[in-house]
Amino acid sequence: MIRGESKVTRSHLERVTIVYVCQSTLVQIREHAESTRRQYDLADLAARMGWDGCDIEVIDCDLGLSGRSAAR
């Protein structure tokens, strides 16, 4: 059994799950590649826990962009 799997109910699986991949700078992406990969792997974990692939959304559009500024 996957850790936490017993807590996932039908109600959960009827909703979209979101994986937000976050690294604030390009340096973090380069130097912490394992962390970035593990964050992406959360989408695979959601699938193993029962979510349908079309109900797993990965958000990474601001990967490498710092939140210190509202620019871009």
Where in the sequence numbering do the catalytic residues fall? Answer: 24
Q: How far apart are CA 26 and CA 2, in angstroms?
A: 32
Cβ neighbours, 10 Å, residue 23? 21
Strands 17-20 and 56-59: parallel
